[in-house]
Structure 1
Amino acid sequence: MPTPYASMFSLSELAEHPVIQAPMAGGAAGPELAAAVSEAGGLGFLAAGYKTPEAMYEEIKHVRRLTGRPFGVNLFLPQPRTAEPAAVDVYREQLAGEATWYETELGDTEGTADDAYEAKLAILLEDPVPLVSFTFGCPSAADLERLAKAGTRTLVTATCVAEARAAQEAGADAVCVQGIEAGGHLGSHRDDPQREPGSGGVGLLCLIAQAREAVTLPLVASGGLMRGGQIAAVLAAGATAAQLGTAFLVTPESGADPLHKQAMTNPTFTRTDFTRAFSGRAARGLVNRFMREHGPYAPAAYPQVHYLTAGLRRAAARAGDPQAMALWAGQGHRLARELPAGQLVEVLVAEVAAAREALA
């Protein structure tokens, strides 16, 4: 069995506490949230997904004005065009009634599938940040080497052992193992259109154990974590840090829509599930009307479906209707606490200490 943590990378280089704020794309993880978490001794993250390279750079500069502490930036890997155009056209027709109801237009699906990856990477190489993480794939060894030469640490998301091995072979500094409990998009390197969204996923504790025996890189645990006791559990299982998204989504510094924040603890929304209805890729969110009605036949077509439904989701938010919004949330969403981000970090750290003391 490989010796765990052979990499020279240590989270303590970047953060005082083993608490990482997940890079939630779509507006939640902006400069205010990232800076607040880093200022409290955790590690804040910006989500560059869906943003233009220029917008990403403006947010980086904004974080630097708010804090002198380390933070990270997350990039989406370019996606292959595997979707059948005819399937997207059929889905467009099926959503026509939604567009009429919300008095909006369906989006253009001919947008870029690479999320301006090369341009964003060029900015991060020219003006490096302490940590860059990757979702929806593994960057090339050449890209990881260039970031390393620029002084940037790298973190690759993996949802199975094979993906963790791919990250190690490419030269990443660490792996973020994402359990099936996680909210938002499943960060798998490939979304299999032949399988039900999220099917075959692995729970976080099991995935940590599997990854520990498969790779020697430090592991960051992600998926359903809301309390310090859970963080203590994943640290005991072999992770070096915990990444939390839903827990930070309801903080005042989060840029999530107020309706999204309220839905986390709203008894109307009783459970989460995976769907392709909003983006064309498997993602976990609160089950609402849109997910129930359109999820069963939404095509595996990312990012085409994301752009197709973007206007609908914005119109639903303007109308005050969460039933047609993408309410991304992890399985622990009912445990969300409306605390300032810095205070939440402090509470989580205290809970970790209490859990360790109880175990001792």
Structure 2
Amino acid sequence: MFEFGDLAVPIIAAPMAGGPSTPDLVVAVAAAGGMGFLAAGYKSPEAVAEQIRDVRARTDAPFGVNIFVPQRNSYDTEAVQRYRTELLAPARRYGIELPAVRERDDDWFDEKVDLLVEQRVPVVSLTFGLPAADTVRRLRDVGCAVVATVTTADEARGAVTAGVDALCVQGPDGGGHRATFRVEDEPGTTPLIDLLDDITSWSPLPVVAAGGISDGTRIVEALAHGAVAVQLGTAFLRSTESGAKAAHKAALGDPRFTRTVVTRAFSGRPARGLANEFIAAHEDTAPAAYPQLHHLTSPIRAAAAAEQIPDDMALWAGTEFRRTAQDSAGSIVQRLWDEARASGAAQG
């Protein structure tokens, strides 16, 4: 079974659903000594299978696939309908129709688990909670290393009890969704290093550090506080191999966008992205309802991306987005690891 300590370079390209994580990115990061993840969220099982085949046709290196655990939250149906009515105005601007509210969506979870078991994917990471214990066992029984993404010590304890192989500890500064186990939970603000100190002090499992890691100094710090590897997403968004939309990549370097905020406006779940006009207009009225809001805003976001209008897009990004570079993923891994080794030598 795969172990993160076996990586030549302890840098992981985070799974970024919605397009940024591509087979090209996975292969490039692996070639540089790290490890990449495919993001199965929002993709059909057939599309995920095609990406797995693509990666395996080009590398023998280990890689991971991330899946979303189905949500079991109850939500305020009237609040969601009010939010849909509010979204009619931006939808009209793009000449599109909004879908009806989707009451449930398990993102093909069972089918994706079947696929990952069949394909014996080296690493499977879980986001938004924990599945049934037998699901974890099925994956482990065929040699998949199972990683639970956690944001608190309590979530980490639940993951250890569930029998996973490793924890991905996600701090508050990372881009995209916080992986809180419940939709309605407000994400904590405990800094990543403090979370690492808390969890590694008792956890018997290896820990991967994620969230706001952007340079060699932060890599060394995370490793010094018990992490066996670091996971970065925002750092790879502008890479050659990233599948992020052109307007998203451009916004990361646009001086007009000066800060990130945590918002429910796009998906109903807390997620960090560049502050833009859509968030300003809708943040105060967005209810805690995922994936209902995700599906309602999806056509607006797609239309905005097609017309390259970043103010109506979910521009997911961590707090250190200004450090992103337009470069190949392999060069980014090499630069970060060179910085880490230089920083470690200086601190030593």
Query: In which range does the TM-score fall when normalised by the shorter chain?
Result: over 0.9
Number of the residue aligned with 1:229: 217
Counterpart CA distance in 2 for 1:96 and 1:28 is 28
Check whether the contact 2:263–2:272 (CA below 8 A) recurs between aligned residues: yes
TM superposition shift of 1:10: 3.1
2:286 aligned with 1:294: no
One-letter amino acid matched to 1:121: V
Number of the residue aligned with 2:253: 265
Counterpart CA distance in 1 for 2:123 and 2:2 is 11
Check whether the contact 2:246–2:308 (CA below 8 A) recurs between aligned residues: no
Counterpart CA distance in 1 for 2:12 and 2:322 is 20
Q: How does 1:1-360 map to 2 (within 5 A)?
A: 10-13=3-6, 15-110=7-102, 112-192=104-184, 195=186, 198=187, 200-360=188-348
Query: Percent sequence identity over matched residues?
Result: 47
Counterpart CA distance in 1 for 2:105 and 2:190 is 27
TM superposition shift of 1:81: 4.1
Check whether the contact 2:124–2:145 (CA below 8 A) recurs between aligned residues: yes
Q: Structure 1 345/76 Cα, relative in aligned 2: closer, same or farther at 3 Å?
A: same
Deviations 1:178-218 (A, max 9, x none): 0000110000111226x5xx4x3321111101111231111
One-letter amino acid matched to 1:19: I
Counterpart CA distance in 2 for 1:251 and 1:9 is 26
Please give the secondary structure, in 1, of the residue aligned with 2:314: coil
Deviations 1:51-102 (A, max 9, x none): 0111111111011112121100000000014112211110011111101111
One-letter amino acid matched to 2:216: G
Counterpart CA distance in 1 for 2:326 and 2:144 is 33
Check whether the contact 1:259–1:320 (CA below 8 A) recurs between aligned residues: yes
Alignment gaps of 5+ in structure 2? none
Relative to the length of structure 2, the TM-score reads 0.97
One-letter amino acid matched to 1:335: R
Check whether the contact 1:228–1:352 (CA below 8 A) recurs between aligned residues: yes
TM superposition shift of 1:271: 0.5
Check whether the contact 1:235–1:241 (CA below 8 A) recurs between aligned residues: yes
Please give the secondary structure, in 2, of the residue aligned with 1:95: helix
TM superposition shift of 1:111: 6.3
Q: Which segments of structure 1 move beyond 6 Å, counting only runs of 4 or more?
A: none
Counterpart CA distance in 1 for 2:30 and 2:37 is 9
One-letter amino acid matched to 2:282: H
Please give the secondary structure, in 2, of the residue aligned with 1:103: coil
